Structures are given as C-alpha cells and as structure tokens.
Structure 1
Amino acid sequence: MLAMLAAVDEQWGLMWLWLVVAFFVDGIDGPLARKYDVKTNAPQYDGVLMDLIIDYLTYVFIPAYALFKSGLLPGWTGWIAIIVITFASVVYFADTRMKTTDYSFSGFPGCWNMMVLVMFALAPNFWVILTIVALLSVAMFLPLKFVHPVRTKRWRPVTLPMALAWTFFAGWAAWVDFDPASWAHWGLIVTSAYLALAGIVQQALYGPDG
C-alpha cells in the first residue's frame, strides 16, 4: 500500500524503496513460515494464497502501473505493456505447474518488479522496453527454468548472494533516484543477467530437471 501511494504521487524513488523492502521480505517469509510450521500452527490460513496475492500486487500490479505512468512507454505502447503484463501474470500465477521438482520456476515467474526497476535505472528506448515485455510475457509459458534464489539448491551459494546483491543495488539506485551516473546500474545489469539466465544454463548443462 505504501508503494502504491508513492506511485500515485509519482514518487518513483520512494515507491521502489518500498518495493525493494517487499522483495526482501518475500525472500525470507517462506523459510520463516516453514521454520515455525505455520501450516500446523495456523491451518486456517492459506499461506500460499496469501503469498500469491501479495506477490501479484508487488511484483506485477504496482510495477506495471509505474511503467505506464512513468513515461518510459509513450502512447499506445504503455497500454499494450500494462495489459499484457497484468493479464499474462494472472494466468501464470494461477498455473499449478509453475514450480519445478527442484523448486525453481517453470517459465518467467512474473518478476516484473525486477524488470521494470532496471528499466527505470537504464531508461532505454521504448522499443527496447516493449521488446523485453513481449519476450518475457512469452517466456512465462515456455518450459524455461528460472531459479528461485532461496529454494533452488543447485548453485545456491552463488544465486543467493547474487539475489542479495541485486536487492542492494536496487535499493541504492532507488535511493539516489536513479541517477544515471550511479554505479549501482552496472551491478543491476550483472545480477539481473545472472538471475534471469542461471536456470536456463542449468537446463542446458543438466537437462530439464537439472
């Protein structure tokens, strides 16, 4: 809610700071829930459903709104992007096959918060943004593996620090209001590339269940 209020006021740096906080919390809430056995101690609450609702708001809805209102995508391109992102993500989030046997994701897992934040930082040509939106939307429904930074065991000693580094670079970029001269942008590029491609590389090296 705090991120959405900041977005409505077009306080993009503040909005992204709140979303980075939400991203960090999302990374630790699952392990905490398993540690304290929430399914046994609070069986009346569906933690998976709760997580999906929060993730849709913080990973999809608010970032899509920000992309639309920021001016990064002019005219009809903004409308195309926001419609494709929100509707494709609803379908993906409802797909019971979204997790693989090693707790990775099958298809791009709707992490639009990460993609849009990088677009805020780099501010590329709108055709580049539109192309990335199209490719990632298609990738949501392809049998491509994307690592979960906490639950995917293979390469976890690298993946988890990369995810933490991404969180740091994202927070710093938002803190300096996406100053083009910020060194955090290079960190975002490197860590984003790893997190986007690590699962696909694992597939190529170890097979579809690798």
Structure 2
Amino acid sequence: MKTPHRAYSVHLLTATGAVLAMLALLEAVDYDWPMMFLWLVVAFMVDGIDGPLARKFDVWTHAPQVDGALLDLIIDYLTYVFIPAFALYASGLLGGWMGWFGLFAITFASALYFADTRMKTEDKSFSGFPGCWNMVVIVLFAIRPPDWVSLLVILLLTVAMFSDIRFIHPVRTARWRAVSLPVAIAWTFCAAWAAWTSFDPQGWAQVGLLITSAYLLLAGLAQQILARRAPEGA
C-alpha cells in the first residue's frame, strides 16, 4: 500500500469513531447501558491507536485534505462528552436537579474546553481536565456512589478543566509512559469487563477501575509537584 493510501486509511479509522458513537447512542436510547459502554470502550481503543498511526504515516504531509485533529475532536466530543452526559442523566444515576446540573455542566464546559487552543502542554499533557467524561461516567456506573458524591466529582472536574493542573496523555506524555500506558490498557480492560458483566457490584473490575482511574487522574499533578520541587533539591 502506498504511503498516501496508508495515511488516508488512518483518517478512515478515525472516522469509524462516529459509527461507534451512533451504535452507543442507539443502545443508550434503549437504556442498555452495558452495551452502550462497550461501544464507547471500543471507540476509546480506536482513539488510542489512531494518533500513533497518524504520526507514523505522517498524515499531515500525505493526507492533508482531511484535518485529522478536527475529525478527532468532533468524534471525541460525541464519545467522551455528549453520550456519557446523556447516559448520566437518562439512567437516573443523578436524580432531580443534580441530573440537570450534571448534564448542562458537562456539555457546556466541555464545548469550551475542546475549543481552547491552550489545552495541550509542551510535554504533550493536557492543561486542565481533558473532558474524558466517558471514563468518569463508567466508573460512576460501576461503583454507584451516593448522588452527592457523583455531583461533587462532576463539579470538581468541571472546575479542573479550566485550571492549570496537568493531566497526562498515556500515549504522548513521555514521562512515566512505561507505567502510564499499561495502566491505561488495564483501565480499558476493566471498563470493558465491568460493562460486559452489567456492572456486577461484586466484580473485581470495579476495584481495578478505581485504582487505574486514580493514577490517570493524579499522575499529571504528581509530575507538576515533582518538577517544582526539583530545583529546590538541586
């Protein structure tokens, strides 16, 4: 296969995320949350591999007619934000006014964040929480915390989107990648298993989700703290 064909095939792979989003939405409309999340996990996996392939085949040079970054953002908003927010509200996981608040806060704040040109840092991390609500909501489905805990998590992460707290990209952030990438893969496996077992509260996947999610949420902040202390100890 010629290089331009390989480059365009990466765009085609990215575009399959839109189909996966539609399949997830169809399951959500039928209130089949486990199947909805399984499709979102598949979309998450596609999103994890299309970036490295895009860089390997240099799509910016060999397939410039398609803006891969824009295509990726459109699909990410559907799979990371829009559908998970709908699931959070329609499932009743957050009841009453809290459900409305979560729905509006997630979609509104994420639209602003996704358009922010400062979202990426020099070390390929994210400045502010990167709107990975698909990961947040599947954990909430798996552990079923009290409503006020879910609301507090949503509120804190929404505020964090517009902070200078860093959040790692498991593939692109070079520091600790030898740990971050396996943790991200473990999170994906736990998320898929939790959905496959219809979020069985006795399943081990819930513990795995909590541990891996904690690392993915806090690793960037830990790196910031260590970087600030390094000159003091030098």
Please report the TM-score for the alignment, with normalisation by the length of structure 2. Answer: 0.88
What RMSD over aligned residues (CA atoms) do the two structures have, in Å? 0.9
**Superposition deviation, residue 207 in structure 1:** 3.0
Structure 2 CA distance for aligned equivalents of residues 202 and 38 of structure 1: 31
Runs of 4+ in structure 1 over 3 Å off: none
Partner residue in 2 for 1:178: 199
1:198 to 215, 219, 222: 219
Identity among equivalent positions (%) equals: 67
> Does residue 26 of structure 2 align to residue 5 of structure 1?
yes
> Does residue 128 of structure 2 align to residue 103 of structure 1?
no
SS at structure 2 position matched to 1:207: helix
Q: For CA contacts below 8 A with separation 6 or more, give which structure has more relative contact order.
A: 1
> Does residue 186 of structure 2 align to residue 165 of structure 1?
yes
Equivalent pairs counted in the alignment come to 208
Please report the TM-score for the alignment, with normalisation by the length of structure 1. Answer: 0.98
What CA deviation, in whole Å up to 9, does each residue of 1:84-134 have, x standing for no partner? Answer: 000000000000000000000000000000000000000000000001100
1:91 to 112, 115, 122: 112
Structure 2 CA distance for aligned equivalents of residues 137 and 80 of structure 1: 11
Structure 1 CA distance for aligned equivalents of residues 200 and 124 of structure 2: 36
AA partner of residue 37 (structure 1): D
1:128 to 138, 143, 149: 149
What CA deviation, in whole Å up to 9, does each residue of 1:47-69 have, x standing for no partner? Answer: 11000000000000000000001
SS at structure 1 position matched to 2:83: helix
Structure 1 CA distance for aligned equivalents of residues 62 and 23 of structure 2: 29
SS at structure 1 position matched to 2:131: coil
AA partner of residue 16 (structure 1): F
AA partner of residue 38 (structure 1): V
Partner residue in 1 for 2:44: 23
> Does residue 67 of structure 2 align to residue 46 of structure 1?
yes
| Alignment gaps of 5+ in structure 2 | 1-21, 230-234
AA partner of residue 227 (structure 2): Y
Greater share of residues in helix: 2
Structure 2 CA distance for aligned equivalents of residues 37 and 198 of structure 1: 29
**Superposition deviation, residue 143 in structure 1:** 0.2
**Superposition deviation, residue 75 in structure 1:** 1.1
